[in-house]
Amino acid sequence: MAATLPHRLLQPFGVEIERDLSQPLDACEAGHLVELFREHGLILARGQVLSMGRQRELCRLLGPILEREGETGTLSNLAGGPSAVELAWHADAAYTEHPFDALSLHAIDVVDKASSTLFVSAEQGWLRLPSRLQDSLRAGEQEMVSPHYSQLSGRACDRDNTEALKRSLRPTVVTNPHNGRACLWVSELQTARLCAAGVAGGRSVLHEVFDVLYEPRHQFEHRWRNGDLIIWDNIALQHMRGNLAQVGTRILQRVIVGTKGAAPHLG
């Protein structure tokens, strides 16, 4: 019988696997990791001790690794500023033509359970929308922004003048290339307006959509402990984090799966 990765389902989505990922995966295990990623969108493994090289090896199973000049591959809250402020719901580089395919964070120096990252499924969110809201978004366009670092919390659509580093027109619903499923592409952090609606009407629609998408019972909250590893589908899922100023040290090792670079928000 082919070897598979021992795992259990998480709620409301995702899987937790039990495997020392510092050790090589055989072909069947590697294939199973990819299947779990495509089907469930989020993979959690606890108690890992992974070098950056090994974390990249694992993520390379999902696609090419994006290494950007000047980045260390670690996220730290110790300097304060944008690295420690609240970060509203988003998918990384969603405002570009080449959003990241996947992201991975590995806790290498954290105060156990003091900080968290929250996730929602944009695939499940689309399916939960009433048909009238689906009709409002289907085949529509939005103006998306990469907001200034002073505007990383709250909803971009509620600001009369969003200060943006970049702006672009993107679809409101996309097909996930990893599994063929439809998913919402609007988000609190990056959606400034719906192109086919007036300002007030578009805000009203977005508020209704966000109420469904970000409903607390459909969120997965992961409280970080040293050794935790999460790999997630950046198309299928959105993520956010709270303010990190009072949580003690929080240093995470990050790997990006993608083909093109974009100025990141500091996850």
State the residue range of the domain holding 183.
74-226+233-257
The 10 Å Cβ neighbour count of residue 21 is: 23
Residues 149 and 166: beta-carbon distance below 8 Å: no
Answer yes or no: is pLDDT of 262 > 70: no
Side-chain half-sphere CA neighbours of 147 within 13 A: 25
Q: For residues 228-255, give the mean pLDDT.
A: 97
Please state the rounded mean pLDDT for residues 163-178.
94
Instruction: Tell me the Cα Rg of the chain.
Output: 18
147 in any annotated domain: yes
Give the model's pLDDT for residue 83.
Answer: 84
Would you say residue 25 lies in a domain?
Answer: no
Give residue 257's pLDDT band: very low, low, confident or very high (50, 70, 90). very high
Which residues in 91-134 belong to E strands, given as ranges?
102-110, 116-121
Share of the chain above pLDDT 90, in %: 85
In a domain, 1, yes or no: no
How does pLDDT run across 103-157, given as a tens digit for each residue? 999 999 999 999 999 999 999 999 999 999 999 999 899 999 999 888 899 999 9
CATH number of the domain residue 185 falls in: 3.60.130.10
- The answer, yes or no, to whether residue 54 has pLDDT greater than 70, is yes
CB proximity list for 216: less than 8 A, separation 6 or greater: none
Q: What is the mean pLDDT of residues 46-65?
A: 98
| 3-state DSSP assignment of residue 205 | helix
Looking at the chain, the whole-number percentage of residues with pLDDT higher than 70 is: 96
Assess if residue 32 is contained within a domain. no
Closest alpha carbon to 231 in 54, 63, 37, 47? 37
Residue 1 has pLDDT above 70, yes or no: no
CB of 224 closer than 8 Å to CB of 75? no
**Structure token pair of residue 142:** 């939005």
The pLDDT tens digits of the residues spanning 155-166 come to: 999 998 777 889
Element (H, E) at 143: strand 141-147
Mean pLDDT confidence for 220-233: 99
Answer left, alpha or beta for residue 149, where phi above 0 means left and psi between -120 and 50 means alpha: alpha
Q: Residue 266: pLDDT band by 50, 70, 90 thresholds?
A: very low
Domain-located, residue 49: no
**What does the pLDDT average to over 44-63?**
98
CB atoms within 10 A of CB 118: 16
Our count of domains for the chain comes to: 1
Give the Cα separation of 101 and 237 in Å (integer). Answer: 10
- Lookup result for tokens 């600001």: 159
Rounded to an integer, the average pLDDT of 60-73 is 87
d(CA 62, CA 259): 12
In the block, tokens 């086919």 appear at 196
Q: What three-state secondary structure class fits 120?
A: strand
187, two tokens: 């988000």
Specify the pLDDT at position 239.
99
Q: Does residue 58 sit within a domain?
A: no
pTM: 0.94
Q: What is the pLDDT of residues 76-101, one digit of tens each?
A: 999 888 889 999 999 999 999 999 99
Mean pLDDT over all residues of the chain?
94
Q: How confident is the model at residue 72 (pLDDT cuts 50, 70, 90)?
A: confident
**What are the structure tokens assigned to 210, written together?**
């966000």
CA separation for the pair 91, 80 (Å, rounded): 22
Q: Would you say residue 11 lies in a domain?
A: no
